Structure 1
Amino acid sequence: MYIMRNIPTWFSIFLTHFILWPYISMNVLNIPTQEIKLVNHVRVKRGWSWEPLHVTEEQEVKQPMYVGQLKTDSDGHDGSIKYILFGDGAGKIFVMNEYSGKISVLKKLDREEKPFYTLRAQAVNRFTGVPVEAESEFVIKVLDINDNEPKFINEPYIAEVPEMSPKGKYVTQVIATDKDDSTNGNNARLVYSILQGQPQFSIEIKSGIIRVASQIDRETKDQYDVIVQAKDMIGNAGALSTITTVIINVLDVNDNAPKFQQKSYEMSIIESATVGEIVGAVLADDIDIGKNAEMTYSIEERGDYNMFNISTDSLTQEGIITLNKLVDFESRSRRYNIQVRAENKYKPELFDTATIRIYVVDVDEPPVFLEKEYFMKITENATIGSYVGSVTAKDPDSTDAMIRYGILHKYSRSFEIYPNNGSIFTIKSLDREADIWHNITVTATEAKNPAYVSNVRVYIRVMDVNDNAPQFQNVPDIYVCEKSRIQQHVHTVTAVDKDEPKLSHSFSFSQPPEELSNANFTITDNGDNTANILTAQDGYSSRDDPLFYLTVIISDNGTPSLSSTSTLTIKVCDCGIDNNTESCGKGGFLFNFMNSGALIAISVFILLILVLALLVHVRCQKNHTILSEKGEDLKENIVKYDDEGGGEEDTEAFDITGLRHHTVMRERKTKRPIRTDIQSMYRLSLGLGPDVALFREFLSEKLEEANTEANVLPLDYLHCYAFEGTGSSSGSLSSLSLSETIVF
């Protein structure tokens, strides 16, 4: 039974060995190929064969759908050939029947996602696994259907075109793409058309280039929204389409002239207006925009053209008319006529004109000073009430009202003014060295109308007089060496003077006549506002005479001439071997002074202070010991009677002699240890007394001890313990000493 069931299998093995025997014998026996060819005169040509393989996209696949078949010529349809599929999607997207070689697809495909699949097939002997055919590669193509609409790229589309452009001028280009197959069929072949934007614009049907179709004017419309459609399948039935909007901005061209809003204007200006004051403004319209609308204004040489100016405001494009000359209602014409021209800034041939009439308005004007500002001078030694100068103002109106003058005392109170005539005079003494200039403000007011006030600045310069004597300038410490020789240079001094002019000051230096005979130093005038100090003897001693004083008289060349007397201090210094005074300023004088005995005196003084402090310390320690011993003995013996008594009556009623001579004393007991938690008297004296609870406990213990003791003093006696307590900043007020026992 077993042999009968496996007859087909054995037959297949035998047949395979029979077929492959020439190859096996060639490899094993190394028989040359040429010899085999001689034996096998006829070869059977075998190979793969298949029909074109393709799948249409977007097909719904509910069960495996047949695609095509692969087979080999060696297939005898006896089931001995096994077909195997490899590659893209094998087993997941495509499957192959291993017996027939038929290929099926398992799910819906999308060409736009993957347009083809590359697979490999192999035919092997089902029993031996030996390849029957060499592995072959093939492609399954996904066929396209029109399932994608066109899409515009590079959106949004914004373009510009100048107005008045000629017909056919290029504007922009729109481009759409289609994901469908552009190599096969018309699914991706697009055509363009304009749905909105005609007749101003047109589009090329294949390229999508938009051009100007008719003349456009920006002043009529400055922006167009052109709607463009893209349709696939060359616009045939079933085509898909999409639209986009192209915003086309029309650029301005300078083709319009300015136009005044009206041909004539009327304006007015008050007669008190100053030069440069604005009279009014005019505006010409230009329907162009940007730079094309910029314009300039000018006054044509007609009428009163020189009385006014006109300028162009670059922001508002207005013509600003300003006053060029002063106008006066009382003395000149009360109306002026000018003609204004507005022309395009870049095309002067585009212009317009307008006439302007300007009327002068009469006003009550404030007083006017004859000068814009005043400059005056006065010497610093002028007496109070001296005349400085005058200011004058007039009423510009025909009424010629009376003027009153005044000073705004804000910065200076050294001057006053006569209200009727404007004369300025001093009310305080002046000092040029304190204030060279005085700036005051003078007011002019109409007497009948105080509301009209004018101001003017008055600058008063205080002129210098020679009232300051010269003084030494920055005199440092002056040193002379002990080994100096006669007529040796010691120091050079100079002087300053607060008076003017500083550049022409001339100072002279001298000594008082009474010091010339016994002078230790002399001074020599150099004639250039400096003087040299020279030695008048050979050698100096820092121990005998450490300091010298030199009196110097400094005089100026003013009128009258002023002088000052100053005393210079010259210190003697041991300059060392080099005989140089540079080291003297770094403590040389102090060193010399200390060598002269001051160091010994200071040392003796410090020693006396130390000895005195030691004696005081010893005395304090001794007194403290005596008081401590007495206090220990008398701490429980001092008593105090706690009844004020009644004077003589009390003496008669009670005999105190017994108390004086027969004082009952308690038996001395063993001394109890002092509690460490009770604070020291030193601490209590500082106001840092013990805790209240501890103090109360201490008193309770002493009271209990007195009540329980048999040999105690009478109840009308009160023990006074050496515990003062705290609370009094003045200390104890008792006049009793601790060494006495007081009985009342």
Structure 2
Amino acid sequence: MAPAAPRLVLGLLVLSLCCEACKKVIFHVPSELEADKLVGRVDLKECLQSADLISSSDGNFKVLEDGSVYTTSALSLSAEKKTFTIILKDIQEQVEKKIHVDLVEEEKKTPNTRHARDTVLKRTKRRWGPIPSVMIENSLGPFPLQIQQVQSDTAQNYTIYYSASGPGIDQDPKGLFYIERETGNIFATRAVDREQYPSFQIICFATTPDGYSPEVPLVHTIRIEDDNDNAPYFTQDLFEFCVPENSRPGVVVGKVIAEDRDEPYTLHTTLKYRIVSQTPPITPAFSLHGDTGVISVLLPQLDRELVPSYTLLVEVRDMAGQPFGLCTTGTVVVKIEDTNDNAPTFKQLQYETRVEENRVNVEVLRISVVDLDEPGSPGSGAVYEIIRGNDDQAFEITTDKNTNEGILCVTKGLDYEAAKQRILVIGVNNEAPYLLAPHSQQLSQSTCSVTVHVLDVDEGPVFKPCLLRLDVKECEDIGTAIGRYVAQDPETGNSEGIRYRIPPGQCNWVNIDDKSGEIRTVRVLDRDIGEMRRGQCNITVLAIDRNGKTGTGTIQVCIVPGNKNFPRLTQTDYIMCRDRNPISLTAQDGDEAPYSAPFEYRINDRRLASMWKLTPHDDNSWYLSPKGDIPYGIYEIPVSVIDNGGKIGENIVRVNLCDCVTPTECDGRTRQLAGGNVTLGLWAILAMILGSLLLLLILITICGCCGAGVMNRQVTDDCANHNLIISNTEAPGEEVMDHNIIPLQSTCDQGGYGVKTGEQQTFEMVKGRGHTLESVKGGGHQTLGSVKEGGGQTMMDTCRYSYSEWHNFTHPRLGEESIRGHTVIKNN
């Protein structure tokens, strides 16, 4: 901000140096001045030509741009004169000038003066504001020509001088008007062009000789009356429009526009249009609206093929078209746009051509058409198609965009032996759809026929089919014949003298007999080996005739899955507990369908088949379960699994039939195979005898007590209630009752259970805490089990069986089982 201060001070010094005082102005005014009263007029431009700011040093006065000085409030002049200053500033030039104004009270006029009037003045009709003046354009004079007079009412009291300023006086065009100083008559010095100056606004002043202005300056308008001295003219030298052919009457084509420089909204600018002439001079095709200049279709049928364009000479005339009006002509060109109203037609209806057999992608013929529509437009662009004779898609026809011709080509090799000639029917249309002219008939498609003669060529052998697929079962023996692939001479139709060969560098799965074309395997095709995993191989075969001409074909060898794998069980060792739930046997086969599942299971051993049975579960699994109550032990069961292709897999299923609740209870010790012949040694026989004698001794003692009547009813009840536990309340889930067990008659109310089957009896085990006495039935034999001790005491109900009954039950059976060797004594 500091550098700006010197510049400001410097500017003020320059401005003050340029400040000058202009000529002093003295106004004679009444002693009493009303507000907004004109005091006088100062010629500001005489002091400063261009003033940006005009101000007064006294706020009671205001100065207008034209130099008029008005009061801002009512004033009363004192005996002394009133003085103020008008300040003019030109900011750009940094010039300031001042005009000193002195207001002097005017003296009363005496009766002897020129302007003396009676004491009471009569106001006459005021003429200071006349109506606007009118001057005719291009007036011929004589000049100077009086056009108006202005006069102020104050002329009755003062000597008034008239002056004026504004355009036409002291502004451009300068000197066109002037006003007489004494009379107020306004004169024109020359003719005026209204189109250049349609009106003038001048300011008229009325002042006394000493410069006082008793009237407010008058703004007076001088209007130049129009003369029809301008002819109308078109806005364009040439109007160009387009309209589609066959357009209906009334369709708007375009609009011509004309203008007139004369005064608007008068007859001088009221225009009328008309068509003067049409080229070609035939039936009028268009109409022109006289007022708007809109051109419309008049002819119902515009045909581009007959007349492609029209040239119209149009006229525009002012004075509403009256003959004495001024006029101008213009040119309008209307182009007729093409529509597809003409169908293409062939220049010839029949064509003939020749082509060698087996030629591919060669041009055989060009076909031309005639179309009356505009060349190069979609309405004339030809689109060719083969309507008949191309069922095998051996031909193709396209359009040459430059010549509009149809190009017929062969896309597949023709066979002379199959057909010596081909007859094609070709049609043609346009790219754009047809637009029918009014009252015209439906257009029909033009067609032509083309006869193609096929020329015979000496050819090499041809394989039929060109691709032979051979499916070979997996793992076939080497040298297996899998097919025959032969070629034929196209001319003779036979295979005589043709040799066959497989070029090297291909997969060596098969070979071909060079004379017969028989194909045999040279390897065992196994999809699990190396490059055969893809299961497919393409082999090119050459056929060579006597002349050395060669034909090629392809053999596609596909390895199809075979039945090469035996079905195997996924598991062969099982443990079956006393619940004897069925075992699920599951097999798997490495082959694919249809040589895998569903599987069929069989037991090969007849004896074991009588003890075990197989039942289907699903395609892969069968259930193995025992038949009846077979003895505990380890069974090795031969099971055959047969796949869907008939291949049999032999398996040995090892089942440990164990006296357990869960498989983990079996200790896995080796047992003799159940169902085998067992030979008892000396120690075994002695153990059996001693055990039997001990058992008999215990039974006799108990029965003796019972028979002597030592045990009363209460003891019997206690024996039943405290020593025998009903089996179906112990070890949840274990079923004690067999469907073949029938309760025996007993002398006790509660207690154990018995079974009587035929003549044989089975004693139900008497269960105590960890002790059992059981009878095991299996294979038609019975076994008396051992008594297991594990921390408890077992008591039998001696009220149920006598010594003779036990004797009769045990001794015959002990001897029988010892002889047969089918009883297994379990001693822990």
Alignment TM class, shorter chain as reference:
0.3 to 0.5
- Comparing both structures, which one devotes a greater share of its residues to helix? 1
Bigger CA radius of gyration: 2
